[in-house]
Structure 1
Amino acid sequence: MSDRVMAVFDADPFYAERFADFVNQKKYVPFHVMAFTTLEKLIIFGGAHEIEILMVHASVPQEEIAKVSAVQVVLLTDGEPACVEKPYKSIYKYQAADSIMREVMECCCAGAEESGSTMISGTSRIIGVYSPVNRCLKTSFSLTMGQLLSRDLKVLYMNFEDCSGLGRLIGEEHKGGLSDLFYYYSQEKYNWVRLGSLVYTWGELDYVPPVRYPEDLNQITAEDVADLVSRIARESAYEFIILDLGQFGKKAVEVLEVCDEIYMPVQEDCISAAKVEEFEEYLSACGHESVKARIQKIKLPYHSSFGRRDSYLEQLLWGELGDYTRQLLRKQP
């Protein structure tokens, strides 16, 4: 990732430096961001190094921008639209840095497709969380694990429920997400830049927002989901990918095949036990014994009382479920 350079030049040197410091801490950004305080230093650097993306204030004359060797240029504006004769995408600079980066990554999508660019980083460890039992704390457990792992590691959380409620719990309005990722994949337009344009961050945990409409889950097969997840694991910088598998039903088996670890929250009542037994029989009948062998059944502790909904996710870490998940992670190799 460090070989890919994004250069930032702004009239306010503190803006460029703060932006670079912030973005360089983000896990989903496949660039090393460098801040420049003078145009002369930027031009000299561009003459000796390839700059993949140049973010420069719109007040810089076009002829000066042309002196910088950069694959793509994005203009930073103070609110007024950039001059129409400048053939560059413009972005409002006074917004959240995460929002700026999603816009920048979206701008770069076409260039990445034309160059066939990929970012091979290794292989992520894929954790699948699935259960045929409802109301078993599956999502609470997935998010608790994601929060704990992301303190020290690069983690991506993906929720495949038809109505997850995640945006309301986190308090974020999402402009894109899993529905868009499915579309890009189906059109053979998926790449790491597309992924980066759809990643949001909550605390230290990166996530792709769930589908926009429940019907979107029917627009892609389980085999394609498995292939998409495998590509993300191969081509991204994430060390862990957590799959919160919702209403996939028995179709989840194809996705579970690509998981390194599988957690299945269960309940003790007879109906829940019957559902788990039926799922296991299905695995055996369909030749998925390897999936069955990797399943780790867990009985999650129900947390006691919680306060406001908007702080529910943070409270998970300090209750019984947080303690249980910490102990579970300590047992992992």
Structure 2
Amino acid sequence: MKKNVIAVCDSDAEYACNFAEYLNSRKKLPFQAEAFTNAGTLCDYAGKNPPEILLIAEADVDSQVEKLGTENMIVLSDEKDKEEGQHKFVYKYQSAESVIQEVMNYYTRNSAPAFYAMSERRMSVIGVYSPVSRCGKTLFALTVGQILGERKSVLYVNMEDYSGFDQLFSGHTGKNLTDFFYELRCKEGKMLHCMQELIRPMGKMDYLPPAESPEDVRDILFSEWLQLFDLIRKNSRYEVLILDIGSCTDQLFRILNLCSHVYMPVQEDLMARCKLAQFQKLVKSWGAIEEERIREIRLPAFQPECTDGNLIESLSWGKWGTCVRKVLEKNGEFKTAGKT
């Protein structure tokens, strides 16, 4: 996956180069650092390749840099307690680890807006994700959609590289998300109509047919996903948006941070615990999403009681459906009839 760029600009060439080298040595960071020693070179580069984050020494900020309009511009200050102004200031001479921690905390807060809480009509965004394979994630997400769809209007979006939907639902051959994002890149003015054409019913909820090719999913940028979600928020009747998120999704942690909360099915075997520990380490290191928004769940080994091949109708009932209802009830998502 191509990494976004952090541009580091400082006329102190040793500082700029050493800091960029340090960032690139941090393999777990989802960024590539580029060093610049003067504002002119930076502006020439940024005009063609806008950086996701710009770290620039206070002395190097000029009118040309200001015109770049970089959303995530952070000024490296010589003063330890610099009063905040138009830009975020970070003390330059603390440890590199402390600098990047401040930068990532600011970046996460600034660039992943919680749009689910910003709309005129509140739309809850529920994420379902796991670093562990074969944990029942998609069946859980589909079941959540059916249960919540009993009382609310729900839209489900599958973001996995292999959704399996063609085989699961007898070969849908119409347009899918690949077509939507193609249109997005070519004809932005028709996006609402294009999205509405895609929406299809699935039991008690609606869904957008997922992309068929894993390459297509991996090519969808975070900014493009955000445009889709914002289109849904502003122009649809949905009260709940369920994101079934795959590990190959661009800027995974920023996607997770868009969710009001994330259900994470996990398992108890050795490799599952190791993968979960690796994920938890990244969450703490990047500060990308508050740990309390991630809700680990353990699902039963038994499958939904499917009758006559009608999987969707069988999801929300029987032992499986009862288990998922209890998870939702425990997390305040759903109340069983008769309870207050």
User: Shorter-normalised TM-score: what interval?
Assistant: 0.5 to 0.7
Q: 1:172, 1:150 → 2: CA distance?
A: 24
Partner of 1:278: 278
Give the CA RMSD over aligned residues: 2.3
- 8 Å CA contact retained: 1:121, 1:236: no
Partner of 2:142: 143
Structure 1 residue 285: Cα displacement? 1.6
User: Structure 2: which amino acid aligns with 1:211?
Assistant: A
Partner of 1:320: 319
User: Structure 2: which amino acid aligns with 1:259?
Assistant: C
- 8 Å CA contact retained: 2:304, 2:320: no
Partner of 2:252: 252
1:320/1:306 CA distance change after superposition, 3 Å: closer
User: Structure 2: which amino acid aligns with 1:320?
Assistant: K
Q: 2:308, 2:269 → 1: CA distance?
A: 28
Q: 2:249, 2:225 → 1: CA distance?
A: 14
- 8 Å CA contact retained: 1:200, 1:206: yes
Q: 1:284, 1:309 → 2: CA distance?
A: 46
Partner of 2:13: none
Partner of 1:239: 239
Q: Which moved more, 1:315-324 or 1:256-265?
A: 315-324
Structure 1 residue 207: Cα displacement? 0.3
1:130/1:287 CA distance change after superposition, 3 Å: same
Partner of 2:56: none
User: Structure 2: which amino acid aligns with 1:278?
Assistant: Q
Partner of 1:294: 293
- 8 Å CA contact retained: 1:128, 1:259: yes
Q: How does 1:101-112 map to 2 (within 5 A)?
A: none
CA deviations 1:45-88 (Å, max 9, x no partner) are xxxxxxxxxxxxxxxxxxxxxxxxxxxxxxxxxxxxxxxxxxxx
1:142/1:300 CA distance change after superposition, 3 Å: same
Q: TM-score, normalised by structure 1?
A: 0.58
Partner of 2:177: 178
Q: TM-score, normalised by structure 2?
A: 0.57
SS in 2 for 1:186: helix
Partner of 2:155: 156
1:286/1:304 CA distance change after superposition, 3 Å: closer
Partner of 1:199: 199
SS in 2 for 1:238: coil
User: Structure 1: which amino acid aligns with 2:147?
Assistant: L
1:330/1:307 CA distance change after superposition, 3 Å: closer
Q: How does 1:208-219 map to 2 (within 5 A)?
A: 208-219=208-219
Q: Between Structure 1 and Structure 2, how many residues are aligned?
A: 213
Structure 1 residue 145: Cα displacement? 0.6
Q: 1:182, 1:250 → 2: CA distance?
A: 14
Q: 2:122, 2:156 → 1: CA distance?
A: 16
Structure 1 residue 324: Cα displacement? 1.4
Q: 1:204, 1:195 → 2: CA distance?
A: 19
Consecutive unaligned residues in structure 2, runs of 5 or more: 1-118, 334-340
- 8 Å CA contact retained: 2:254, 2:288: no
Q: 2:285, 2:146 → 1: CA distance?
A: 36
Q: Which moved more, 1:272-281 or 1:128-137?
A: 272-281
Q: Percent sequence identity over matched residues?
A: 35
1:284/1:252 CA distance change after superposition, 3 Å: same
Q: Which moved more, 1:217-226 or 1:157-166?
A: 217-226
Q: 2:175, 2:192 → 1: CA distance?
A: 15
- 8 Å CA contact retained: 2:253, 2:289: no
SS in 1 for 2:181: helix
Structure 1 residue 246: Cα displacement? 1.9
Q: Which moved more, 1:252-261 or 1:223-232?
A: 223-232
- 8 Å CA contact retained: 1:171, 1:310: no
CA deviations 1:270-313 (Å, max 9, x no partner) are 211111111111122222142x3310000011225855683233
Structure 1 residue 249: Cα displacement? 6.1
1:236/1:305 CA distance change after superposition, 3 Å: closer
Consecutive unaligned residues in structure 1, runs of 5 or more: 1-119
